[in-house]
Chains A and B, each alone.
Chain A
């Protein structure tokens, strides 16, 4: 992961911050120069909020944000100056153009990981500035002399009116962004930030969602640019160079990435302090860089996190003054126990509804792996592997470390593509299907280390499992609870029954997942799979790291969901006791090949299996290694 945890529930504090800035700018008796600096900082803040969605929530990077601000400002200005477009039309066309550029650029550079993304966006910024500076485009954009930007109709140059308008735009931007981050789309962004491969196996269309974040980020930059052009009245390429892109990034970091409101505070600090209080160029540049470094090193959470901690501290001391406030938290604990008590009832109620789902009728195997080979360069990870998993059975896979077990699951879920052979789900080949498409066909997957999103709560994590079954439009995510309340309630109900099914008590469902223990995290991941109308469950070492008692609980849960939901399960485990308890059939892999297959009891008695897997004939230290694994 590249950035720290993103924050949930940022809507209220962020709107307060945005409104506070607007009010201060409109109401306080500031001198004109400070007022203009403040309005400019609001324009940059809008670009920084957009960047926050891309970096803080999606875990991607753009070091070319100032170039998109420039594109927005220049496009709208040029449309008005040269083609005489009225302002609304110019904004529509200009911002649309920027969105188009972002789509083209994004679909190329988002394929890369952070390093490539950072370099290519930085370079893009450099290209844009070089082009704007150059003589080639000078007739349109004025070259290094710049271009005069006409003022906005109705508002003109009155600083209060400009401030009010910019502030309103900022508040709208904050509202929409906060709505997106707390919606289904927002959860998908945060899962992508944590792990793209897992996100695609969970059914998220990773490329599309990443591109959305990139375009959203660029469009906000363009909107910031339009405001900026109206405030400053004059555009010159100098103001949008690489250092300004870094400044916008710095606003986000100093304010706090993944907070929405934080970048606004960052924009104020970074624009107003060096720009207004230290007008001398050299000192202000040095101070700016120093502020950035101090924040990065000493306060990586940023201003927002600092404020949050301060408020939490004040609350704590208030609680000390008025101790009766404690009683409310005691009451919550008491109701937890009751919640746990009616757990079973909830589960059975749901399972009845579940039975009405159309099941598959057919006799062939649920999953056929037909003579596949998976290769990484010259290394053959799996070869001539054929396994048929009977419908409704629990099929265990065992084998020493490096035998190719996880590779097998990755091949089934579409994360790796076999160079030879075929995988069939309920009789249909999965050739050419992407991970999220395989997920839509009912293949659910868990991972060795629980692939949950640590900075989302338990319920939200489970809701992510329904992304593949998402039918409604994603545009409703822009408007928050007005439009998403009904869907959220339905998702919540499904999440609750899945959590009932895996035995996570209600009291723990609003906790961040990173606060749960390993066995609970594994069950949350299982619940995320269950909500998504699973047919085939692929479990990668669900027993690793669990105590014997936890393993018993897990075995019970698995048996229970297996029966109730008519699932086919393929499970990797090193724990023979666990396998004997739940598995109907067992396949042994070694060095990428199947060396045995059949009834678990019988297979484990075979000499070859004893040798490779249990290490009977092996050296003592090799045996120890097996046990450690």
Chain B
């Protein structure tokens, strides 16, 4: 029983990580109508950048992570201007498939550069034996994930509530046309959205890498579970995405412990279908009304 309980607890931590990526995906979806399928590969790339700094340049881990975050932001901005913005009028499907193409391109580049020797062992960020509460061990990794997630959630909340850039992004997400007419600079904001998405992705990948081993396809199953969490929680709701992702994190972890990985994939898929049948707009999502 305590095995399941600790699986559930690390599931919560995992779900929080999904939630952070989910947050990036929802933000992009709300402001541009594009589902970013490249989020996983972009995140993995960030982790590889940090790893290279540590292994090849011998930088201390915190410095390497910090540098990787800065570089991720740059990659996000370049992605926006090179891949997303040109001829965006070709439609949302076109741009969504571009993210899939980008994902394949990044994956191919990472396989070419780092693939042959993968998987790598990514250094742990925290050491120690953790805290024991009523027979259940809270590992330092789980505590770190929970702490970072809470901190980032608070930071993002403040950002979207109090800063001009955050408010502008919200305006763009709610009413893109009106926001543009009011003079918000949509390309600058778009670039910022991509930078934030990539930073969030890198944070998640760096937190995952110590326990998941670093390899180019590391995020494949994670990104799938993240999307499931978003669909379950509601496509357009930030708290919904977080909630859905945590549910998925717990259930996937418990089914892996109870059965195996394949079973957990099937269970999560069935969960998604049931969610779609019962609440197509998601747990906290609003049904979208069509204007006629």
Contacts and interface: CB of A to CB of B under 8 A. Distances in A.
Interface of A: 1-4, 55, 61, 63, 108-109, 111-116, 118-120, 122-124, 126-127, 130-131, 133-136, 195-198, 242-243, 246, 249-250, 253, 281-283, 285-286, 288-290, 292-293, 296-298, 300, 376-377, 406, 410, 415, 447-448, 451, 540
12 contacts: A108-B273, A111-B277, A114-B96, A116-B231, A123-B224, A126-B265, A195-B290, A253-B94, A282-B112, A285-B108, A293-B83, A297-B98
A282 B111 contact: yes
B97 A289 contact: no
Nearest to B225: A123
B257 interface: no
Interface size class of B (residues with CB under 8 A): 35 or more
B210 interface: no
Interface stretch (B47-55, B85-93, B185-193, B197-205): B85-93
Nearest to A409: B292
A112 B109 CA distance: 34
Interface of A (DSSP majority class): helix
B94 A3 contact: yes
B29 interface: yes
A540 to B, nearest CB: 7
Interface string B223-253: 0100110110001000000000000000000
B266 A116 contact: no
A551 B115 CA distance: 68
B292 A448 contact: yes
A115 B35 contact: yes
B97 A250 contact: yes
B91 A3 contact: yes
Nearest to A280: B112
A253 B97 contact: yes
Contacts of B290: 195-197
A119 B35 contact: yes
A298 B269 CA distance: 36
Interface string B94-121: 1111101110110111011001000000
Interface in B57-76: none
Nearest to B273: A108
Contact of B90 (A134, A289, A296, A448): A296
Interface of B (DSSP majority class): helix
Given A109-B276, A249-B97, A297-B86, A4 B104 contact: no
B262 A130 contact: yes
A299 to B, nearest CB: 10
Contact of A61 (B93, B108, B266): B93
B224 A126 contact: yes
A120 B231 contact: yes
B272 interface: yes
Contacts of B86: 297
Contacts of A376: 289
A544 to B, nearest CB: 13
A289 B104 contact: yes
Given A119-B227, A123-B227, A108 B292 contact: no
Nearest to A247: B104
A63 B37 CA distance: 11
A540 B108 contact: no
A119 B91 contact: no
B288 interface: yes
B78 to A, nearest CB: 13
A127 B100 CA distance: 18
Those 6 A-B pairs whose CB atoms lie nearest each other, nearest first? A289-B105, A285-B108, A2-B93, A134-B262, A282-B112, A300-B90
B265 A127 contact: yes
A119 B36 CA distance: 11
A506 B180 CA distance: 42
A297 B87 contact: yes
B118 to A, nearest CB: 13
Contacts of B115: 282
